[in-house]
Structure 1
Amino acid sequence: MNRREFIGTTLAGSAAFTLQAMPTIPTADTPKIFVFSKMFQWIEGYDQLAETIAGLGFNGIDLTVRPGGHVLPERVEEDLPKAVEAFKKHKLEIPMMVTATLEADALNERILKTAKSLGIKHYRMGWYPYDLKKSIPAQMEANAVKLKALAQLNEKYGMIGQYQNHSGNYLGAAIWDIQQILQKINSPYLGCQYDINHATYEASGSWQTGFELIAPHVKSIAIKDFVWEKKNNKWVKEGCPLGEGLVNWPKYLEMVKQHGLITPITMHYEYPLGGAENGAKKLTISSQELLSAMKKDLVIFKQWWAEAKL
């Protein structure tokens, strides 16, 4: 499929879906919403990527600048400017990126320096796993040292690093541990990318308490939903379209608004979508089917945001 055929198929299909199935929604109070680029590893070329994002209706992209991503870390000086230029041509933004950053080393400094020169200010870092055979407080302290060094590097380039509260045996999954570290470091250049999906998974009955703790440090929010499913006699977490899962969206968005969190919003898709949800290079469903599902979730979220109480 050549470039013109690709764009005609994907964007025309998406537009048709929008006209036939999507309701008109209020937009006055809608913040800018970006999409995690992991979903688009099947697209070759930054220009095609930008055209596809424009057709979906996002304000831009949360770009992967990490091993296997749209920009490889070792090629950041060559490729990140190309991506930014392609998105500018389509009047889209790249305000944030997803990295594997865990230390203030030379390679990560190159990434931050290049991003800053291109107007990118936000980045998500990697995760620190816990070794359950070792002291948790000692590991927290060791990771706090790394995070403080990153905060200093971030300040040098005016970047804002964000640690995601990813579920599992990671720093931040329980919220209180990363909150303590961020409070102690106390830097405007270091914060949390709050993920309500992972927070609900880890603390279904007390996520509100955790959110109140971390809210002063939230620099961006990630949007996605999940359900519990029983597989091989075990309960497992499975992603699902927005509104079909366990996340209490009305309450969560009400709290986001009450805290006045004007932060970048990144939409993620972690349910079966032809492999795109796992960063596949080749889809097992049509691109039109994929883009229609993504558009549907975006419209739903905008509607929820408009309806959320202050």
Structure 2
Amino acid sequence: MTNSRRTFIKKIGVAALTTPLVPSPIHLFDFDQKKDPLEVHIFSKHLQFLDWKAAAQVAADIGFYGLDLTVRPKGHVFPEKVKEELPKAINDIKSAGLSCDMITTAISDASNPLDADIIKSAAAQGVKFYRSNWFKYKADWSFEESLDYYEDKVRELSDLNAQYGIVGCYQNHSGTSIGSSVWEVKKILGTANPKYFGAQYDIRHAVAEGGRSWSNGVKLLRSQIKTIVLKDFKWGKVSGKWKIVNVPIGEGMVDFNSYFQLLKSFGLKPPVSLHLEYPLGGAEKGLPDISVDQQVVFDAMKKDLTAIQQLWQNA
């Protein structure tokens, strides 16, 4: 990932970035302060074809509040280089006028020196939240034994977080890993310090797994939701089989109006990580080389950001 800011500008041209550099999406959408727009970070996974400096500048030019930086294997910052590179990355992000309130990691064990280094380094740089790794059920254990084991791991992480003043988050997901059911998330958070470990609520995965019961998940975890992920999907037939098809915000099955109304009714306005998982030439997968023009990705980012803020305003 060697693309520089200069190379980036040369490739897309000044005219391609029609939105001026601004520190906050409030200006981008010309919202009154009373509208209180969401603080939307773009998941830097989708900009891994750029270095972190260029990624931050793109995000700022489009109007994002911040960058949800990948600090994990194959991410913008590798765990083994976190002490050296994270301060540089966050300095570049802030220099672009953005926040880096949240990072995405593979943290799973407080006794792992690399995991501890990420927590310490991130906290020292003012990062407020990190997303942990996902946990998998152990093959030779019962489900209950696995959940008890990870409940202990989360409690230990919350204790370490408390020492440094940073909050860990576990993301609900779809599939067979722990957290596909929000009750699994509730269980593993059971003995954690609630100030320093909570949930990263993903409405797309909640709808995919829970169908019409997704609102129960919000209600169940409402006091533990620290950050949220926004993305959309629909079911479709692919090669004759029903599968999840990822789509831009507002074009799928997620009822954002009802979701945002529910969050507002609970007084919840957590920091947001926007994910773009629909086809974008490999950017959706975090590839360092993509098969579409970079502007295609930037246009998708802007379109989804605009949709989010309009949906939030109208809810």
Q: TM-score range by the shorter chain?
A: over 0.9
CA contact 2:4–2:50 (8 Å) conserved in 1: no
Gaps of 5+ in 1: none
Residue aligning to 2:25: none
Of residues 216, 225, 237 in structure 2, which corresponds to 1:209?
A: 216
Which residue of the partner structure matches residue 53 of structure 1? 59
Query: Following TM superposition, by how much is the alpha carbon of 1:285 offset from its aligned partner in structure 2, in angstroms?
Result: 1.1
2:238 and 2:38 mapped to 1: Cα distance?
Answer: 38
Letter in 2 for 1:38: K
Instruction: Please state how far the C-alpha of 1:47 moved relative to its aligned partner.
Output: 2.3
1:230 partnered with 2:232: no
Alignment map for 1:107-118 (pairs within 5 Å):
107-118=114-125
Whole-Å separation in 1 of the counterparts to 2:4 and 2:160: 43
Moved more, 232-241 or 155-164: 232-241
Q: CA deviation at 1:169?
A: 1.1
Change (3 A) 1:37 1:121: same
Q: What residue in structure 2 maps to residue 247 of structure 1?
A: 254
Aligned residue for 1:230, secondary structure, equals strand
Cα 1:23–1:117 shift into 2, 3 Å: closer
Distance verdict in 2 for CA 1:59–1:10, change over 3 Å: farther
For residue 171 of structure 1, report the CA deviation from its aligned partner: 1.4
Q: Distance in 2 between matches of 1:17 and 1:119?
A: 28
User: Which residue in 2 is equivalent to 1:130?
Assistant: 137
Amino acid in structure 2 at the alignment position of 1:76: V
Residue among 261, 265, 268 paired with 1:258: 265
The answer to whether 1:152 aligns with 2:147 is no
Residue pair 1:15, 1:55 contacting (<8 A) in 2 also = yes
The CA deviation at 1:17 is 7.9
Distance (whole Å) between structure 2 residues aligned to residue 10 and residue 221 of structure 1: 31
The separation in 2 between residues aligned to 1:171 and 1:2, in whole angstroms, is 39
Q: Structure 2 CA distance, aligned partners of 1:304 and 1:232?
A: 33
Cα separation, 1, equivalents of 2:228 and 2:182: 14
In structure 2, distance between residues paired with 1:14 and 1:265:
26
> 2-side partners of 1:143 and 1:74: how far apart?
24
| Residue equivalent to 2:24 | none
Shift of 1:9: 4.3
CA contact (8 A) 2:167 2:198 kept: yes
The equivalent of 2:84 in structure 1 is 78
Choose from 169, 192, 212 the match for 1:162: 169
Aligned partner letter, 2:183: W
**What amino acid is the match of 1:207?**
W
Which residue type is aligned with residue 18 of structure 2?
Answer: A
Deviations 1:98-149 (A, max 9, x none): 0001110211111111111111120000111124664111111011111111
Mapping for residues 286-297 of structure 1, pairs under 5 Å: 286-297=293-304
Aligned residue for 1:4? 6
Among 68, 75, 87, the alignment partner of 1:69 is 75
Partner residue, 1:270: 277
Distance 1:286 1:272 in 2: 13
Number of aligned residue pairs: give it: 304
> Is the CA contact 2:276–2:284 (under 8 Å) kept in the aligned structure 1?
yes
Range 7-16 or range 155-164, more displaced: 7-16
Amino acid at match of 1:146: K
Q: Identify which range, 183-192 or 196-205, moves more after superposition.
A: 183-192
Q: TM-score, normalised by structure 2?
A: 0.91
C-alpha distance in 1, partners of 2:185/2:220? 10
Residue 101 of structure 2: SS of its match in structure 1?
A: strand
- The alignment partner of 1:306 has SS state of helix
Q: In the alignment, what sits opposite 1:91?
A: 97
Query: What is the deviation of 1:14?
Result: 4.5
What are the within-5 Å matches in structure 2 for residues 21-36 of structure 1?
28-36=35-43
Mark the CA change 1:229 to 1:131 in structure 2 (over 3 Å): closer, same or farther: farther
Paired-residue identity, %:
39
Offset at residue 48 of structure 1 (A): 1.5
How far did residue 54 of structure 1 move?
Answer: 1.0
Instruction: Report if the CA contact (8 A) 1:165-1:194 is conserved.
Output: yes
